[in-house]
Structure 1
């Protein structure tokens, strides 16, 4: 079969691959290759959908903050309305755990993020039914909900408008080095490209191994979400409520409650499903925080979050394999950082000056060359 040819072949059409395709479209011929029948099936489509500048830590925060303006006010022609809806967030601790809040304040002291210390009376105003023992919190007023489906769809539409071709139901089964690029074997036939972008999410190390590279150590983790109907009904203005020690988070969504036990269970790359233990754990933790009655579990699901060993994203060319570009390891913050991350990665891939959105961001913590590959 005659191979399809392009300048760049991106493996993975989730948020990472779609946003990068939209950034480089029009400047290179491009094939966007997706293993599933629908892009964004494993991680992008299962996100808890919030934008929080503190989420991911201080080295991820510059990418999140830089993405905020784009998400709040998208460029003309990209999307007709904001992807963000104000929500606010509160990080909680129980009595005796206040050191976690103090550490968080120190960690982000130089970031410019507004973090407001709250006492018990203020917590009660924001979180009805809060049980005794939860005495302190930090409010993050800038936290917002993200319309993930709209953002992902807008990136895919922009990529196609700029000439990218989306190839679905095309898992990559082999990768061969050519004198002038790469050859990919897929279910939809062979593809040849000068540059291969590894945006395969949980499968990123497997893709690297097929190309003859030593895997970085990108590990998928299962994250559980449960949708509940509770009594009294969830207030629409309830903030995102996060345990500062990482034991739960919950937020309202269309009149229901989305709840997670904040689990990170190492697993193989797969079509993740919620485990009954994690669902029960989430509910137990919620009932220790608020006195709401759970009327029904309406839905439960799990998604994959994939981290490099240092829990920072991985962008850039591999040293040992010219033309192999990493765009992986976005963990649980790939959606909230997508606009800035895509612009940063596009500059590295095309070897161009950085876009003004990311010109002040030091890319060195994210470069693939920090690993031997």
Structure 2
């Protein structure tokens, strides 16, 4: 191997034959998995989309800023609902269902927001009393007027576009449910290509520089990523914590201006995003330190854990990046290909006979 490295022809893929890769024994059933139901899939996607549309409704109703980006949550939640309710195992049907349900939920949330705002306006209530009709009827007739759609349409259409992008981003999750065999093949193919190409590039760089792959290094997010994510996390956490405090304080000082549902709903919305900001702050602290065959992994939350090279059974890849799997089947560490020194880690693992786990 050293001779081939000196000649610049070293390729880690040549040293990881398919029959030498660790394999996980799995039991195979002749019985096909349940095909699922189209009806429950539609109901699940619609339920998930409506749950995801709650932040849209609260922000559009009670806050005065652009809410189109919240459409992403609606698309993701629709996919989650489809899987939760065990919809039909057809990728085309699933994608079409979650997209349509996401668009319907966004449309309903925007209309509901406008109905609430107009029906709770004292001037609209007075106008409805003067006309002798319910305020809901007056608000609905106003919404149906074409000249008012110019106000509602931009934010709604942008949210729908972002919602579809959310569905596309989690397509792999949908595929893992509707066609797990195909999803596994795609993941394995991507992982095999990524292992060979990343490690080969590192090997070539090491050979050109005249030094071997280091035995001590740290795999973590790039510095600019850590700084950016932490700044964004702090801003989100501070903003929504202040918003939560403002909602609670306003509801205490002016109880007549807040209903219980408004206080609980808006407080829950602010709390969720404040927690999300805290999660971002801690998420980039992840790192995997390698020192002479000893690994030390610091996860997003919890204490650091150490393990040795001999404890690693192999590696898998999925939508959340790569996982180092222990001999007992548990996850030892996680990392992504775009992190610092991830290519060096792949090279290191390949040189020590750690390959991909295949089923």
Indicate the TM-score class for this superposition, using the shorter chain for normalisation.
under 0.3
TM-score (norm 1): 0.23
Bigger Rg, structure 1 or 2 = 2
Looking at secondary structure, tell me which structure has more helix per residue: 2
TM-score (norm 2): 0.24
Q: Which has the higher contact order (CA 8 A, sep 6+)?
A: 1
Looking at secondary structure, tell me which structure has more strand per residue: 1
